[in-house]
Homo-oligomer: A and B are copies of this chain.
Amino acid sequence: MADIRDVAQRAGCSIATVSRALNSPQLVRPETLARVQAAAAELKFRPNALGRQLRGERTGLIGVMLPTLGNPVFADCLEGIEAAIDGTGRRLLLVTTQYDPERERNAIETLLQQRVDGLLLTLADAEHSALVDDLAAEGVACQLVYNDAPQRPCVSVDNRSAAAQGVAMLIEAGHRDIVMVTGALHASDRAKRRYLGYCDAMQAAGLTPLPAFEIDFNSGARGERVREWLAQRERDGARPTALFCSNDLLALGVMRALREAGLRVPDDMSVLGFDGLAVGELLSPTLATVVQPSVEIGRHAAQRLLAQIDGRDGRTGAATAPADASLGHALILPHEIRRGGTVAAPPRTKDRH
């Protein structure tokens, strides 16, 4: 593969001139420029980004770490990120972690070794993670995505109050026996906040919050577990009339389990999701859910990261203030309650108050 030296030779100039011709054409006499371009074309010269990156200050690489792409909420967000970097000449280095903190550590280290200019991360649990502090201490440009940690650089919705509003809607519809269904609570700061929101709404209505029904995401037999749990509740005479699922994907799985258990949604059971996946609107009945603007979350996070990166031009030492202090704190985007066919009034037979 032709390198810059070959081009220089063919164009009859020095490699410095070739470099200039390619990066700052205005510094080169038009005639020389033309010769260089011709030579480069003839040799099918393809600049080696590694050489430039090793030499230069920036790589133009952005590290993106997400839990999974199996949940469209993350794919959507990635679309927003892509949209934001489009045209900036930057590229994305992508890693998924399957919500595994061990993999999170490795992935970040890997991205850093590749000398990414900045990091866009969705952590399983940002609040209990020393990782972010370490990154900040090292001066790595970084924005959290979806993680909702007030004092950190992140972009998200206010999960707690969003969840509270969703649950309030269930209560308004007449439900009193509402249970939150979620993946492992300890593994996700978002789920935890949404559970707090659930509790807020219940208490505000004078109801007693119930323990969340935690269900293993990774287990294959999810439907099975849901049915068992329902049967148990049935026996206890404590079957809820509404389920608040900590995300839409889970809601879809739960609805399937309900169907298989012979329960109709919303006649026998109301279901509320969280995320606002596009597919929810295509279902019938349509999925009621708390909508977060996923694409916008991704887009804003990327934009903030770029601003953060650009704000660091040649700064050093203690005298340096961040270009914009707001980049160091949370950006909370507005959520929205999407009413849908999966929520209705509770069945009369359950109306035991």
Name A's B-contacting residues (CB within 8 A).
44, 46-51, 53-54, 59, 64, 68-70, 72, 75-76, 78-79, 82, 91-96, 109-115, 138, 252-253, 255-256, 259, 279, 281-284
Structural contact, B91 and A114, CB atoms closer than 8 A: yes
Inter-chain CA distance A252–B280, complex, in Å, is 11
Partner of A94 from B94, B255, B283 at Cβ < 8 Å: B94
Structural contact, A79 and B72, CB atoms closer than 8 A: no
- A95: B residues at CB distance < 8 A: 91-92
Structural contact, A284 and B284, CB atoms closer than 8 A: yes
Q: Can you list 6 A-B pairs, Cβ within 8 angstroms, ordered by A? A: A50-B53, A51-B54, A91-B114, A92-B93, A255-B282, A283-B283
Chain A binding site: helix, strand, loop or mixed by DSSP?
Answer: helix
Partner of A69 from B48, B51, B78, B113 at Cβ < 8 Å: B78
- A48: B residues at CB distance < 8 A: 54, 113, 115
Interchain nearest-CB distance for A342 vs B (Å): 12
Structural contact, B282 and A113, CB atoms closer than 8 A: no
Structural contact, B50 and A114, CB atoms closer than 8 A: yes
- A75: B residues at CB distance < 8 A: 69-70, 72, 75
- A256: B residues at CB distance < 8 A: 281-282
Structural contact, B46 and A112, CB atoms closer than 8 A: yes
Structural contact, B49 and A113, CB atoms closer than 8 A: yes
- List 8 extra interface pairs beyond A54-B54, A72-B75, CB under 8 A: A46-B113, A50-B54, A64-B94, A72-B72, A79-B96, A92-B95, A252-B279, A279-B279
Inter-chain CA distance A93–B63, complex, in Å, is 9
9 nearest A-B residue pairs (beta carbon): A69-B75, A75-B75, A94-B94, A50-B54, A49-B113, A252-B282, A49-B114, A92-B94, A279-B279
Given contacts A50-B54, A91-B93, A93-B92, contact A68 B72 (CB under 8 A): no
The winner among A50, A72, A282, A284 for most chain B CB atoms within 10 A is A50
Inter-chain CA distance A284–B94, complex, in Å, is 34
